[in-house]
Every structure is written in C-alpha cells, then in structure tokens.
Amino acid sequence: MSASFYTKPANNGNAGVAMETSWDSNPGRQRTLQPITTGASVLAIKYNAGVIMVADTLGSYGSLAKFRSIPRVLRVNDATVAAASGDLADMQFLNTVVENHAIDEEIHEHGIAYSPASLHSWLTRVMYNRRSRINPLWNTYIVAGTEAGQPFLGYVNMLGVAFKEDCLATGFGSHLCLGLLREALDAAGGYAGLTEETATSALEACLRVLYYRDCRAYNQYQLANVPVAKPAQVSGPHFLQSDWSVAKLVKHYTE
Amino acid sequence: ARPHPTMSSIGTGYDLDVSEYSPEGKLFQVEYAHKAVESSGTAVGICCRDGVVLAVENIVTSKLYETNCNRRVFHIDRHIGMAASGLLPDARAVARHAREEAADYRQSHGEPMPLSELASRVSNLMHAYTMYSAVRPFGCGVLLAAFENGRPQLYGVEPSGVYYSYHGYAIGKAKQNARTEIEKLKLAELSAANGVKEAAKIIYSCHDEVKDKYFELDLSLTSAETAGRHVIVTGEQWTEASNYAKAALEEHDSDDDV
C-alpha cells in the first residue's frame, strides 16, 4: 500500500527472520555470542513406512536443569515435523515464524503446503543467511516427514550446513548415538527393512545412553512419528526407564 | 461540483468524491458502494447452537470458468471465516488486510485473534476509505464468523464501515428475503450440521433463476465439530446440503401447483 489511510495498531509485525538493523546504525545491538537456555540432542531415523524423531523436554541453563517440560518438537503440518537443539529462544522464535507460514498456507487453500524438503530448504537459507551476518540462530534443526510418498530426513545447523540422511542426530547424540542408529539400519539392510517397533526401540535405547552419559540430557521426551500414508503425530511426554544401580559401585557413593 | 449529465438525478452534483457531503448529509459514494453490494449474489451467515455457517450465492457469469476458482468464502487465520458480497477484488483486499491483522495479533499476543477485535479492525479499515477523496469506498460487504470459547459469533461489516454483531444476517441482492427466512429458523436449537443445510436452502430459495442462471454454492462451517476451525464445506457434506436445498425448492414449487 502506498499511502496509509489506515494504520494498524502498533504491533511487532510478522518479524521476518532476516529483519534486523545494521551494526553501523545501531551499535548497541549485539550479535549472538553464546546460547543461553539450551536443548540437548535430537535423534531421528527412517523406517520402512515413515520416519520417527525424538527429543527430550529439558531446557538447560548452563549446567542447571532449569526447565524440565519444554517441547522441542514442532508439528508443521500432516506431512512435516521439525525439532531443534541449541538455544531455545532462537528455536521458539523460528518455530513461530514457521508456524505463521504454515497458517498462511493453510488459509490460502491452494493445496500447497510446506513439504519437509521445502521446509528444510527454507531453514537452510535462513540459517546460512544469519551465519553470513555473524549473528546466527544457535540451533541445529532436524526436519522429518513424507516427501513425494517417501520418508524424508534432513539436518541444518547454525552454520547453514545441510544434508539429508537415513538417520540423524544433533549434539552429543551425533557422538554417542549415530553409530548405534547406523548399526540398526545396517542390521536391517537399510531403512526399508526396519520396522516401526525396531526403530522406536533403537531410538529409545539411544535416549537411554544419552541420559546415562550426557550431563545435559533428560529422561522425559517427545516422540514424533510421520508415517508415509498417515498424518504426523507428536506424542509425549514419555518417560525413560533407567537403571542407576551401578552407582553403588562408585567409591564414596552413599545412598 | 459539476452536474453529471448521464447519471440519474439522485446524487447529482454531490457524488464525485466520497469526501463530499450532500446538502441532506449523505455520502453518495458510500451509498453507491452499497448498491454494488446489493447487485451482487446474496451472502448469508447463521449462528447455530454449536457453530456458525456462512453461505454465498456465488453467481457465475460464464460456463467456461473452472468450478470453485473464485470462491467468495475466505479463511482469515484458522479460526475465522469471511463471506463477501459485492465486488470480489475489493473483498479480496479486505481479506488480505484481515489476514494481516490476524497474523500480527497472533504473533504479538501468542493467541488467535478474537473475532470482536478483528471485526473492529475491518470496520476501521473500511471506514478509513470513506474519508478521503483520493480513494473510493470498498464495494463489498463482509460477514465474519468464528466459534470462540463455545460461543458462535457473527459480525457483518458494510461499505460505510458500520458493523454489528448478529445472530443471523444476509447481504446482497436477496438480503430481505434471506433475512426473513433466517428469522423463521429456531437458531438456539439448530445444530451447525443442520445449519449448513438450512443455509443452502435459503440461498437456493432466494436465487433468481431468471436473472442469474448459473451459480455456485459456497458453504463454510466453524463449529464445535470442527474444533473451532473454519472449514470450507466440500464433498459429501456439500452435496447433502445442496440436494436438501434443491429438494426443498422442488417441494415448494410443487406446492404452487394447484
């Protein structure tokens, strides 16, 4: 609109992700230096009829397990889910933008919705754009869903590095669990041979490993399942059973 | 103000700008905008017991058009529907503003925009275009519907910007007939699912077969059943409503035969 005969009441507006003042004209504005409240690993694996993704519900404030019920899995639409690790404020900001886009698409009813591949592509552009201004969104995203009738799994990190794989993990998960997930896939001869039950139990086993070994992990988690033929479902919170009886073997451990 | 040679004498001399009053205190451009609504297909909104129904007599001027290419019922966010009568491009502009308002509200307040608030904004918008000579008023009237906190809500905004909250309302060419039909309904007992059929029946009964041969029935529903979501009625539910309306019409016609 050229002239404003009508001005909306002052709102934040639909803040575009790339919208920010330049360093020179607004020197008080700072760049991202460190993540503050963080989410730990996200794990995901394809199976014969879809893809499953898990993320625990902990928001860590450094080493303090501060927020124990933060949902990190976003259902975008029937065919797409996404989850993030890293700075949770950045994650919540980006998720709001994604959700606004999703609503826009729903109400225009032209039958076009975010497919996981298009969301993955958009996220990559946004993350790389922010990285190139030395003001990143400090997250690693995993996008999962159904693309052209096939399971889809994609990764994007704060540098804009993006790739697609049959199994993915972020953070500590990529060190401790990716090997386990790859073994599960190899044992089944590829994701086409992996059943939903085997995939779920593999992910659960990985979450348990993380809870034992990653100081920032937690035993309460969300699970997203996107079957190829059915709508996406995000369930949770699920609780992880763990066995700490080995603690008694630790010298000076008292109950 | 120059006399206009070819116009009827109604607003002669005082109808060239919307910023100009007539000596009787009328804004003729706004009245002419209302005429644009009155010469367009009827739009009907009905608050039922557990939801709101919108229906539009979408008059189609050529059989060459693809069906449903120019719907007159719009989504404004997930939970609000808008039906329009009048100039369709103007209706689309109103819908675009309304969508922006609803998106902004959701972004700032973290929750869906209440319909009363949106109706107020749409009214402010349409009114703003009645105050300056550089623009013309919107040539459309809109019905806004939502099912909020268990309560069905319907607002109607006219080209002048005036708006009211309604139990049921109609705008467009057969608005008088349609309003009479709506008044006959027992709205407090009517379920939204039946309301869809009744709205279809009203549209069909008010449709002028002679003047406008071909029309499409645009129907939408926001109810407890749709979990507050605004849904365009298609498929089986649409066919059922459309058949119910046609059957009622035939029954009525056969009643006329003595």
Catalytic residue among A7, A21, A32, A140: A32
This complex has an ipTM of 0.74
pLDDT digits (tens, 9 = 90+) for B179-206: 999 999 999 999 999 999 999 999 999 9
CA dist A93 and B71 (Å) reads 34
Once rounded to an integer, what is the mean pLDDT over residues B236-253? 92
Which one has a higher pLDDT value, B224 or A17? Answer: B224
B28-253: what CATH class?
alpha beta
Search chain A and give the residue with CA nearest B130: A5
Residue-by-residue pLDDT tens, chain A, 255 positions: 445 666 665 544 444 454 455 555 666 667 778 999 999 999 999 999 999 999 999 999 999 999 999 999 999 999 999 999 999 999 999 999 999 889 888 888 777 778 999 999 999 999 999 999 999 999 999 999 999 999 999 999 999 999 999 999 999 999 999 999 999 999 999 999 999 999 999 999 999 999 999 999 999 999 999 999 999 999 989 999 999 998 888 888 876
**Running DSSP on this structure, what letter comes out for residue A192?**
G
Instruction: Using an 8 Å CB-CB cutoff, list chain B residues near A5.
Output: 128-129, 131-132, 135
Say yes or no: B79 contacts chain A, CB-CB below 8 A: no
The 10s digit of each residue's pLDDT in B91-120 is 999 999 999 999 999 988 989 999 999 999
Asked whether the beta carbons of residue B104 and residue A15 sit closer than 8 angstroms, the reply is: no
Angle at B190 between CA B218 and CA B120, to 5 degrees: 60
Angstrom distance (rounded) from CA A144 to CA B170: 46
Q: What is the structure's pLDDT at B35?
A: 96
Residue by residue, DSSP assigns A110-125 as SS----HHHHHHHHHH
Q: Residues A94, A136: contact at Cβ < 8 Å?
A: no
CB contact under 8 A, B104 and A107: no
B124 contact A CB<8A: yes
**Looking at this protein, which amino acid is placed at residue A91?**
M
Write b or e for each residue in B68-101: b if 16 or more Cβ atoms lie within 10 A of its Cβ, otherwise e.
Answer: eeebbbbbbbbbbbbbbbbbbebbebbbebbbbb
Is B134 in contact with A3 (Cβ distance < 8 A)?
A: yes
Residue B132 contacts A, CB cutoff 8 Å? yes
Q: Model's pTM, two decimal places?
A: 0.83
Across residues B140-166, what is the average pLDDT? 97
Domain boundaries in chain B?
28-253
Query: What is the reported pLDDT for A113?
Result: 79
Q: What distance in Å separates residue A106's CA from the closest CA in chain B?
A: 8
Structure tokens at B168: 């049921």
Question: Domains plus CATH for chain A?
Answer: 37-240 (3.60.20.10)
Q: Is A32 a catalytic residue?
A: yes
CA A21 to chain centre: 28
Q: How many CB pairs below 8 A link A and B? A: 51
CA distance A45 to chain B (A): 32
pLDDT (0 to 100) of residue B8: 52
Residue B133 has pLDDT above 60, yes or no: yes
The pLDDT tens digits for B3-58 are 555 545 466 788 889 999 999 999 999 999 999 999 999 999 999 999 999 999 99
